[in-house]
Structure 1
Amino acid sequence: MEKRSFSVSEDVWITLKDGTRLATRIWMPEGAEKDPVPAVLEFLPYRKRDGTSPRDESTYPVFAEAGIAGVRVDIRGSGESEGVIDGEYTPRELSDACEVIEWIASQSWSNGKVGMMGISWGGFNCLQTAALKPEALKAVISIASTVDRFNDDIHYKNGCHLYANLSWASTMLTYQSRTPDKALVGDKWKEMWLERLEGEPFFLEEWIEHQRRDAYWEHGSICEDFEGFDTPALVIAGWADGYRNTPLKAVEGVGEKAKALIGPWIHKYPHFAWPKPRADFHGEAIAWWNRWLRDEQNGAESIPQARAYILDGPRPKAWRDEDPGFWVAKDTWSKPEVAVFSIAGDKCLTEGEGGAGVGDIYLRSPLDSGVNSGEWFTLKPDAEMAGDQRVDDAGALVFETAPLQDEAVYLGMPELSLDLSCSADWENMVARIVDVHPDGTATRVVYGVLNLAHRDGYAEPKAMPKDEKVSVTMRLDACGYRLKPGHRMRLSLATASWPLILPSPEAPGVTIDTASIRLAMPLLGAHERIDMPQPENPDPLPNYTFLEAGSTRRFVERDLMTGMTHYHIQEDTGFEEHPDTKLRNQETRTECWSINADDPQSMKGVCEGTTRYEREDGWNVRTHTRTELTCTKTEWILSASVKGYEGGEEIFSKNFSKTVKRDFM
């Protein structure tokens, strides 16, 4: 098909019914007024002028050349859009999205059919908006998202409190404190900025009020009504990302309307993600849009229900540029058959049911165990990914197979069941499946966590019966992995993974009946090996001018005198200038997570973020945020501050402070 020329505009504003104007960037195919075209909406708080501009500029021109309009809209209170954000995936946000879709469909250049896509926030809200069934929304592409906001998002995981809960709240406080660009909104930029600074919430205050799966988390979780979800959805994720479960959960729940695609990737679009191999996202997306927005009979509805990259023994590295493996397809996804493992008398992980075990074993991991667990969600293929697991296994109870005689290939979500007891109301359990290479290098295949108070459900947690054995089942995250002959499979059990999950109030440890351990690994089963096209352009992101270089540091500091462990994160995006808008911006972020290996009340997380915006005419603004989370046995204690500066002078300051009762978490 011949590529169409197109124009790019930021001078169109969408006015909502309440009068709020949303800032919009549109890539418009030439001739759309005479020959109307379909459109794809991405609706985000991440700032089209600077935050997402590189990836927008890698994709929407390609869509426009294929005759598909791209409509990139900042949600209210973000970028240059008016108003103040009121939270994450709120009813107002989704209502605004429906209004925007209606607006697009009513334009003279539109053929009346709209698609919606996005990664992370945009992946979430396109599924949630589709569940509301706006008439013009015909299909979605959801990347790195969730169908279950309580168990598969950045806040809590199977009842465990993720450290990313504070980290992400800090990130969003920093994001939402940013000024609109005066070059686009004019003289009212400062008024808009001050309104935003004054009104923006500290999201953690709301998130931490809901420590169980209540109506707050049910809102926006499409798993609450899979049967009612009927929009064609291409659902994409990466094994290296926290949102790896969603594609398989979507096809299990939605059925044939959903298609799953899982690569080796971090939290990025597939055409520029790491580790490689990448995928031709543009080709996939254009075929999807043409099928559902143009009624082109191209067979997109008949692609295999699940396509996945099977990792073939990657080694943990400082930078994982490419992971070995191969692509497979399953025309119809169904619950996999499993290989069952138990514990033999010699503490060996052995295939088969009913191992004799090695009796009851008490396990209490040092609270600073887990520093090689990596980030919950990853933006770079470096130390944000899980490192060599030998470090973390030192604080775990491990069981291991003999070297494998034959390969073992898995695809799906492993399940672990075991009997255990606990002397307190609850404790955290962590299970990891590890690929042990012949030289001892240990690659994490997959992991799962469970707050034992949530063992029978997440809506009504209950205390453990003290020192009485209970049966527990853990569903680990999804994986696609081949264990090679000569490698060993290790099951590692722990009660801590610092700082990935925050400790229970007493951290009492557990006593495990090793004879009860049953590990069910999902077999790959019937499949077809396939080739996945890679993007034609190996470097699709535009290159901006960096006036100051960025940097990244991630390190662990242990004080052998005090017993404190400090996990440090330092990020600097560099000071860059957009070649067209000439807007200059920079963000720096630091985090420090501290804990004494024997004292759960010693935990402390501190995050700081600074943003900087400048123009050549001397316009210079900056914001600084600081957030902190500590605890007692019975309470979570959180605080935050936001400061705004113009030309070096402080013009705004605001503080947040809240103490919340711990609710089985």
Structure 2
Amino acid sequence: MSAPGTAAGTSGGPEMLVERDVAIPMSDGAVLRANVYRPADGGRCPVIVSATPYGKDVHVRNLFPSVWQVLLDHYPEVLEASSGQHMIWECIDPEVWVCHGYAVVQMDVRGTGKSAGFMEPNSPAQIDDCCDAIAWAGEQPWSSGSVGLVGLGYITAANWRVAARKAPCLKAIIPCQGTYDFYRDRTHNDGIYSSGFTTHWWEREGKNNQHGNPACTLPDMYTGEVNTGPPLSEEELVRNRVDYPGEILAHPLLDEWHQARTADLAAIDLPALVVANWGGLGLQSRGTINGWKGLSSPEKWLLVEDGSYFFTFFTPERVALFRAFFDRHLKGIDNDFDLSRVSVAVRTVDGGADIVEGSDWPLPSTTLRSLHLDFAENMLSPTAPERPTQASYSPFEDAVILSTAPLEEELTLAGPLASRLWLSCETPDTDLFITVQAFAPDGEEVTFLAAVDPAAPLTQGWLRVSQRKLDPDRSTELEPLHTHDERQPLVPGEVYEVTVSLWPTSLRLPAGSRLQLTIAGRDFERAEGQKPVVFMSHDDPRDRPAEIFGGRVTLHSSPEWPSAVVLPVL
């Protein structure tokens, strides 16, 4: 362990004791390394634990320089509350929390950073390790015995599963913008392999930070040395890690391997403040919201935000909310923590947002409105076409695009959407890529800042059509849920009913606006050829061979086959 040091507290708080590379014993005999930040006065306090694959010693400015620059330029209030020198990716800023009487433990997951061992992202073994770290934190002489979990993204995806283990000293959780569903929302967008994200993450953040990697590009923010410890040979590195993309490709269905990496939400009964963000389209948002829905917790709150989830995570306003929650549930303080059970930011075309509150999700004030697909007129219409219409496209080449007429009155959407289609195909399978765009009365598209796209559309949905089977007990008209436990190949030329889940969204559209629907067999491209951010692509030929997925698709809409999009209207 590195020699402990102290740092001045913020806002007049106590000095912070910093202990680096603290050894945390695991139940299998391994030792993982963590940094411990705690008040220097030696008193007992609650502990917030995070286990990160990104490096407990890797500063945000080194991992994502552009993100750090945005924080410097546009969020000065964050660094007015802290020096920022201990800020790492997707974890709380310990300097801010220690001054309010909390200890913070940030641990490198096994096989990464300073923690030796076999590197296996998202594995059950990582959850075992995190539970061991919680038990260790609860037993330390400086600990009050109460532990909380909070983080973003990867860390939250793990924390859902950790919370389901019911560690005795774990008292409350704040899952922020991280899916609980490893298959549908992370590795396979409803059956389609998320090749771009998986490859990008594994090469840039995963293998780069493997323990012993001498080629690691990330410096230790405290020493300036390579973050990954003593170097290992390439042969040793390969032996000490799983083939992450290869494993995902080897499990194309939602089988036991994926189930072991998906949380049992019903087992979680802890107080939970769940924070989702519209900026997680295609990666985190749907699984965060649905995570809240599945909790057994009698005390649970859902906050759906606008803007960039990374920056809002650090603002003084957000920290104050988190602290009030933990003060109540980790410290036992009867405070003024007060939040509606569900609070949703409903976005506006001018970049603002209105807060709508409710008691459940979808919001109880939601009504369903169908827009029918009329392929003869290329229109989305309130009424179904009186006679059969159809349209065809080549999955890897073109798309079908339909639009509403200018809206006659204001329309407010907040919630998930669904698309009910009838289609036939020339080949045994096809993938559906469905995109909904919004256009303001002046004709300009209304786009949104997302975690992976600076100009994201209103919403999107994906589905491998051979995996169209629905779970009848868990599906609703707005929220179809596919089992993904088997493939049902298509018979060329036969017409099939297919229901696609479109990810939750929100927007208040003034009269004169339009909605546009694009149905394709490839990643969305705007008319001017602007492609999606590369690491959100779905184009691995091993997953989508042309001879199986390239056949021409015909869409049908008629009184017999009433294809439509279902909207959540407030």
Instruction: Classify the TM-score, shorter chain.
Output: 0.7 to 0.9
2:146 aligned counterpart, secondary structure: strand
Q: How does 1:17-96 map to 2 (within 5 A)?
A: 17-31=27-41, 33=42, 35-52=43-60, 53-55=86-88, 59-85=93-119, 87-96=120-129
Matched, 1:9 2:19: yes
Q: How does 1:173-322 map to 2 (within 5 A)?
A: 173-176=207-210, 178-179=213-214, 189-190=229-230, 195-196=236-237, 198-222=239-263, 225-241=264-280, 242-254=283-295, 256-266=298-308, 268-271=310-313, 280-298=317-335, 300=337, 303-313=339-349
2:96 aligned counterpart, secondary structure: helix
1:79 aligned counterpart, secondary structure: coil
Q: How does 1:114-153 map to 2 (within 5 A)?
A: 114-153=147-186
Matched, 1:497 2:523: yes
Instruction: Give the CA deviation at 1:191.
Output: 5.4
Alpha-carbon distance in structure 1 between the residues aligned to 2:12 and 2:203: 46
> How big is the alpha-carbon RMSD for the aligned residues of Structure 1 and Structure 2?
2.7
Structure with the greater relative contact order (CA < 8 A, sep ≥ 6): 1 or 2?
Answer: 2
Alpha-carbon distance in structure 2 between the residues aligned to 1:505 and 1:257: 49
Tell me if the contact between 2:433 and 2:463 (Cα under 8 Å) persists in the aligned partners. Answer: yes
Give the aligned partner of residue 380 of structure 2.
349
Tell me if the contact between 1:347 and 1:357 (Cα under 8 Å) persists in the aligned partners. Answer: no
Q: How does 1:395-434 map to 2 (within 5 A)?
A: 395-434=398-437
2:506 aligned counterpart, secondary structure: strand
Tell me if the contact between 2:304 and 2:345 (Cα under 8 Å) persists in the aligned partners. Answer: yes
Tell me if the contact between 1:399 and 1:490 (Cα under 8 Å) persists in the aligned partners. Answer: yes
Matched, 1:514 2:551: no
Post-superposition CA distance 1:241-299 (Å, at most 9, x none): 22111332123222544322222234525245xxxxx7822112111211211122235
Cα 1:201–1:326 shift into 2, 3 Å:
same
Aligned counterpart for 2:467 among listed residues 430, 454, 466: 454
Aligned counterpart for 1:112 among listed residues 113, 128, 145: 145
Tell me if the contact between 2:179 and 2:285 (Cα under 8 Å) persists in the aligned partners. Answer: no
Aligned counterpart for 2:497 among listed residues 462, 471, 491: 471
Alpha-carbon distance in structure 1 between the residues aligned to 2:233 and 2:143: 33
Give TM-score scaled by structure 2 length. Answer: 0.77
- Counterpart AA for 2:394: R
- Counterpart AA for 1:159: G
Q: Which has the higher helix share?
A: 2
Alignment: residue pair count: 475
Give TM-score scaled by structure 1 length. Answer: 0.67
Tell me if the contact between 2:395 and 2:551 (Cα under 8 Å) persists in the aligned partners. Answer: no
Post-superposition CA distance 1:32-87 (Å, at most 9, x none): x3x411010011111111155534797211111110111111112211122232x1
- Counterpart AA for 1:162: S
- Counterpart AA for 1:206: E
Cα 1:445–1:279 shift into 2, 3 Å:
farther
Aligned counterpart for 2:445 among listed residues 442, 448, 471: 442
Instruction: Give the CA deviation at 1:478.
Output: 0.8
Alpha-carbon distance in structure 2 between the residues aligned to 1:81 and 1:184: 18
- Counterpart AA for 1:468: E
Alpha-carbon distance in structure 2 between the residues aligned to 1:211 and 1:227: 25
Cα 1:161–1:18 shift into 2, 3 Å:
closer
Cα 1:79–1:434 shift into 2, 3 Å:
same
- Counterpart AA for 2:569: L
Give the aligned partner of residue 338 of structure 1.
368
Tell me if the contact between 1:348 and 1:400 (Cα under 8 Å) persists in the aligned partners. Answer: yes
Structure 1 residue runs of 5 or longer lacking an equivalent are: 273-277, 315-322, 368-394, 525-665
Give the aligned partner of residue 193 of structure 2.
161
What's the % identity of the aligned pairs?
A: 22
Alpha-carbon distance in structure 2 between the residues aligned to 1:355 and 1:297: 59
